[in-house]
Amino acid sequence: MKILLANDDGIYAPGLAAMEKALRAIGDVTVIAPATEQSGVGHSITFLTPLVCKEIYDGDRRRGYAVEGSPADCVKLGVVELMDERPDLIVSGINGGLNAGINVLYSGTVGAAIEGAFFGITSIAVSLEWDEHAQFDRAAEMARQVIAQILERKSDSPRLYNLNIPTPATKLPPGEAELKIVPMGVMRYGEHFVKRKDPRNRDYYWATGDPRPEHGEEETDLSALEKGYLTLTPLHFDMTERAQIDEMKPWNLKVLD
């Protein structure tokens, strides 16, 4: 199996190294990652400036390709130019920090996976809850096991998934962590800013991420993660509200002069 591994934390991120090591058990891994951290860039792409790409080595071992661009750029360049063969699987991560709820829409980690899905390749974004002493190796092994099971059980059609791993799950004995397949939460949060003054007395604002989202009756990735479960969410990049198309057809909308 040919695997393209990307991320948004950059080519030197520990989560990327751990994920590469784990994925070698199921395939031939090619790392193509941003040269610098690209957190929060979503599914942005670069087309007004050149995409500089450089091979990075650790001694004699090639770490991978570092791209002066976004996570989606990395996947696009990897599939079209850098890999000798079309990948069978694209993995993005491990991200340092969860990508759940509406953060899925902002996430560069998920953006890379979406780009892979655009190519008709099964793609999986993997994120680990932020912790100063994050156990990336343990999380990568957990992710590898989940990915292997997905590949065994999914249909033949390409699929897009978002996998999140809470910190407490990485500290459990093997076999005790549990996973839930849940939808992403869509509650608004992160609307608070702290207003401050810079040395030139200009106002600036720092996003705090507060308030925390309120959970409804339906179990979502946000509520399940708080309970210590790994969460897996199938995603789709088609944003069409299809139910409204038939509703709107009788409207007989016209362009008025």
8 marked as binding residue: yes
d(CA 12, CA 147): 23
The number of helices, as runs of H, and strands, as runs of E, in the chain is 8, 11
DSSP sequence for 216-237:
-SS--HHHHHHTT-EEEEEE--
Dihedral sign, Cα of residue 78, residue 84, residue 88, residue 94: negative
39 marked as binding residue: yes
* Cβ neighbours of residue 127 closer than 8 Å, sequence gap 6 or more: 93, 94, 95, 97, 98, 99, 100, 107, 109, 162, 163, 164, 165
Rg (C-alpha) for the chain, rounded Å, is: 20
Binding-site residue numbers for a divalent metal cation are 8-9, 39, 95
Binding-site residue numbers are 8-9, 39, 95
